[in-house]
Chains A and B, each alone.
Chain A
Amino acid sequence: MQLDSLVEKFKQKDEKAFESLYNMYRDSMQGVIFNIVRDNDIAKEVMQDVFIKAWHKADSYSSEKGRFFTWLLNIARNAAIDKTRSKAFKKSKQNLNSDFFVDILESSESLDNSTNAIGMKKFVEKLADKCKAVIDLLYFKGYTQVEASETLKMPIGTIKTRNRNCINELRNLVLN
């Protein structure tokens, strides 16, 4: 309920509400963006742009069309992908490796010692490869279920149930 009213106030251009939402989703968006651009400074810059854009486009958000988080996620993924297509970016990053988000978690030395990060690291270590791929495509890359089904060569039904199971595992790990 509190989230809903924050989003409602945000739509009315309430800066305080927006600040709360920013603090709530800032790291998530930067994480998603980082997974695409693989550069800390660029990820942070794009993340800030995403929130500024969201503020200016506040009118266009409607809860009927989806979750606020999902709306923000879309803007962030598109902005990150746009960034990778820019000339300047292509020059500096000739070969982006196409690894999944899990590699970041597994290989990162700079993760702080928050319980979240440690728990997450444990979680991804336990995940099956196909689970990693599904989560990466659907949440980090913004594939539709049809696109994910084509990429992973799995029926849509299988994608749905597999994803459901993966997210259940995630919930048990981080929410309990």
Chain B
Amino acid sequence: MDIKAYIESGILELYVAGALSEKENKEVFDLMLQYPEIKKEIIEIESALVKLTAAVCQKTNKASTFQAIKSKLSQSNTDTKVISIVKPKYNWLTYTGWAASVILAVGLLWTTNQNNALKSDIQVAETQQELLEIQIEKSKNNLYEANTLITVLRDDNITQVPLAGQGNFATTYAKVYWDRNANRIFLDAQGLPAPPPGKVYQVWSLKLSPLTPTSLGTIDSFTTDENKIFEINNPNESEAFGITLEPAGGSETPTMEQLYTLGVVSTT
């Protein structure tokens, strides 16, 4: 290898400048170990450059002694972060913020409760309204019935049959208003006591000779009906009406021991 030409190429100057690639650096290093001329050349180039660069240094003060950096050499290389031990200060904004959120939470809870209370109030009011509507309906019915009764009472074609208390039940009484044209009767049972549990009053249409009873049905709604006036169909040619106390559901024939009231239709 022509060492002289290699030196003259200028590659060693670039080597010292650090302008070569890693591969080229290795090449120069290997040759330097082989050829002392190359090493000598490199050292001379380097010395010249050390002098040139040092000349650019502005020596305004000469304090750049090794002491200036010596203390820092023993410090660890890792950059240690300094963490402040001063507790973070909470300012008024923090407190206000927390206070505001607590108030908000309480407010929301209160509003929810109010809302629920209002909802149940509405439900109560609705129930009351329903009850009132039912009462109105009832009153309307009562009024209608009363009107019907008045009409019946004023009608000439109505036959009045008073039923008198019988035997043990002499204190009881009832009255039948028979509308022959419409084949119905109105029974006023105001004078009868409430039937004992499990028993009902049964109304009978009677033929007298021979005595033939025909059931007109039981008065199942006796206790619940307020004015105790019952409208009952009666297509029979009745000669008398009677009321007996019978077991719930009624009987085929009247139980004469339990005959409460009896009245004969006047023939006039």
List chain A positions with a Cβ less than 8 A from chain B: 3, 15, 18-19, 22-32, 34-35, 40, 43-44, 47-48, 51-52, 55-56, 63-67, 69-71, 73-74, 101, 104-105, 108, 110-112, 116-117, 120-121, 135, 138-140, 142-145, 148, 159-164, 167, 170-171, 174-175
Which residue from B15, B47, B57 sits with its C-beta under 8 Å from A70? B15
Chain A residues lying within 8 Å of B192, measured Cβ to Cβ, are none
Instruction: Judge whether B88 is part of the interface by a CB distance below 8 angstroms.
Output: no
Can you offer 22 A-B residue contacts whose CB atoms are under 8 A? Answer: A31-B56, A35-B56, A47-B64, A52-B69, A65-B26, A65-B29, A70-B17, A74-B18, A105-B55, A110-B58, A110-B59, A111-B55, A120-B55, A138-B14, A142-B17, A143-B19, A161-B9, A163-B10, A167-B45, A167-B49, A170-B49, A175-B48
Quick check: A52 and B19 within 8 Å, CB to CB?
A: no
Which residue from B29, B60, B70, B73 sits with its C-beta under 8 Å from A64? B29
Given A15-B73, A70-B17; A101-B48 close (CB under 8 Å): no
B: number of interface residues (CB 8 Å)? 43
Quick check: A65 and B46 within 8 Å, CB to CB?
A: no
Quick check: B60 and A120 within 8 Å, CB to CB?
A: no
Docked pose: A42 CA to B15 CA in angstroms: 28
Instruction: Judge whether B86 is part of the interface by a CB distance below 8 angstroms.
Output: no
Given A112-B59, A171-B48; A145-B13 close (CB under 8 Å): no
Instruction: Judge whether B170 is part of the interface by a CB distance below 8 angstroms.
Output: no
The smallest beta-carbon distance between B60 and chain A, in angstroms, is 5
Quick check: A28 and B77 within 8 Å, CB to CB?
A: no
The smallest beta-carbon distance between B95 and chain A, in angstroms, is 36
Chain A residues lying within 8 Å of B60, measured Cβ to Cβ, are 40, 110
List residues of B (1-16) whose CB comes within 8 Å of A's CBs: 8-11, 13-16
Which residue from A30, A69, A138 sits with its C-beta under 8 Å from B57? A30
Which residue from B9, B17, B53 sits with its C-beta under 8 Å from A31? B53
Quick check: B8 and A164 within 8 Å, CB to CB?
A: yes
List residues of B (75-125) whose CB comes within 8 Å of A's CBs: 77
The smallest beta-carbon distance between A38 and chain B, in angstroms, is 10
Given A24-B50, A105-B55; A65-B25 close (CB under 8 Å): yes
List chain B positions with a Cβ less than 8 A from chain A: 8-11, 13-20, 22, 25-26, 29, 42-60, 64, 66, 68-70, 72-73, 77
Chain A residues lying within 8 Å of B22, measured Cβ to Cβ, are 65
Quick check: B58 and A34 within 8 Å, CB to CB?
A: yes
Quick check: B45 and A171 within 8 Å, CB to CB?
A: yes
Docked pose: A27 CA to B58 CA in angstroms: 9
Quick check: B54 and A144 within 8 Å, CB to CB?
A: no
Chain B residues lying within 8 Å of A63, measured Cβ to Cβ, are 29
Quick check: A67 and B44 within 8 Å, CB to CB?
A: no
Chain B residues lying within 8 Å of A24, measured Cβ to Cβ, are 50
Given A65-B22, A171-B48; A163-B57 close (CB under 8 Å): no
The smallest beta-carbon distance between A142 and chain B, in angstroms, is 7
Which residue from B44, B56, B70 sits with its C-beta under 8 Å from A104? B56
Chain B residues lying within 8 Å of A142, measured Cβ to Cβ, are 17-19
Chain A residues lying within 8 Å of B25, measured Cβ to Cβ, are 64-66
Given A15-B70, A67-B15; A27-B57 close (CB under 8 Å): yes
Docked pose: A142 CA to B19 CA in angstroms: 7
> Taking each of A66, A105, A174, A175, which has the highest tally of chain B beta carbons within 10 Å of its own beta carbon?
A66
Given A64-B29, A161-B10; A73-B45 close (CB under 8 Å): no
The smallest beta-carbon distance between B10 and chain A, in angstroms, is 3
Quick check: B53 and A32 within 8 Å, CB to CB?
A: yes
Quick check: B68 and A56 within 8 Å, CB to CB?
A: no
Chain B residues lying within 8 Å of A135, measured Cβ to Cβ, are 52
Which A residue sits closest to B54, measured CB to CB? A27
Quick check: B46 and A48 within 8 Å, CB to CB?
A: no
Q: 17 new A-B pairs (CB below 8 Å) besides A28-B49, A30-B57, A32-B53?
A: A15-B73, A22-B66, A27-B57, A28-B57, A70-B15, A116-B54, A120-B55, A139-B49, A140-B56, A145-B19, A159-B10, A160-B14, A161-B9, A161-B10, A163-B13, A170-B49, A171-B44
